[in-house]
Amino acid sequence: MQNGEKIVFGIDEVGRGSLAGPVMACAIMQIKNQKSTFVPSSGRGKVKNANQKLKIKDSKKLTPKQREEIYNFLKKSSEVQWGIGKVSEKVIDKINILQATKLAMEKAVLNLEKKIGKKADALLIDGNFGINIARPQQSIIKGDEKVFLISLASIIAKVERDNLMIKLHKKYPQYGFNKNKGYGTPQHLTVLSKHGPCKIHRQSFNLK
C-alpha cells in the first residue's frame, strides 16, 4: 500500500436468513501495486494469473466450485487482506438478526484493521444500513452485484460459513447442514418437524 492511498474496505455478510448457525461477515481490502492481478471493470472484475481467469460476481450467482476456486486463489494472493466477523445463534436470539448482522460486520472491520495495523478510510457496505463504527461509510443496495470489493467479500464470507456448517454437520448429521447450510429447505423443515431444533438453531426464528 503506497503512502497517501485511501484504505477502502468492501463488506458483506452471509447467513442472515438461515435457521441455524452464525451470521458471518467479511471485510476485504485490495493492496494496489503495478502488477495487480485484479481487474475491476464497471463494478465487476476478474481474478486471474497465467493459468486462471475467474469472473467475480455476487456469491449467490456462482456455483460452490466457482466460489471455492476464487476463495483458494485469493487465500494465496498477497494482493488482498481480509477479516472475518462471526456472531453466534445465541447472540442472534438476544439482539435480533439485523443487529447481529451489523455486529458481524463491525467485527470483520476491526479484525481487518488489526491485521493491517491501520484504520479504514472508507467502508463500502452491502445493504441499506450503516454499522456502529466511526468510519466514513457508504451503504449500497445490491452492492454484491455492483462493487468489486463487496463481491469478493460475499464470496469469502459464503465459503467460510459453508465450511463451518459442513463441520457442524458432523455433530448434527440428521439436519443435513452439509447441504442446506442451515437454510429452510424442505428437507431441513421436515427434519425439524420430526426431531425439533438442536443447539445451533435460532430459537427466535420461525422453525416450522
**pLDDT (tens digit, 0 to 9) for every residue of the chain, 208 residues total?**
555 688 999 999 999 999 999 999 999 998 765 344 444 333 444 555 433 444 555 566 788 888 898 899 899 888 899 999 999 999 999 999 999 999 999 999 999 999 999 999 999 999 999 999 999 999 999 998 889 899 999 999 999 999 999 999 999 999 999 999 999 999 999 999 999 999 999 999 988 7
Give the pTM.
0.87
In the chain, the DSSP E strands lie at 8-14, 23-30, 38-41, 44-49, 52-56, 80-87, 122-126, 137-140
What pLDDT is stored for residue 88 in this prediction? 98
Indicate the burial class of 130 (C-beta count within 10 angstroms; 0-12, 13-18, 19 or more). Answer: middle
Ordered domains of the chain (ranges, CATH) = 8-166 (3.30.420.10)
What pLDDT, on a 0 to 100 scale, did the predictor assign at position 52?
44
- 156 by Cβ neighbours in 10 Å (0-12 / 13-18 / 19+) ranks as buried
- DSSP states of 98-152 as a string? HHHHHHHHHHHHHHHHHHHTS--SEEEEESS---SSSS-EEEETTHHHH-HHHHH
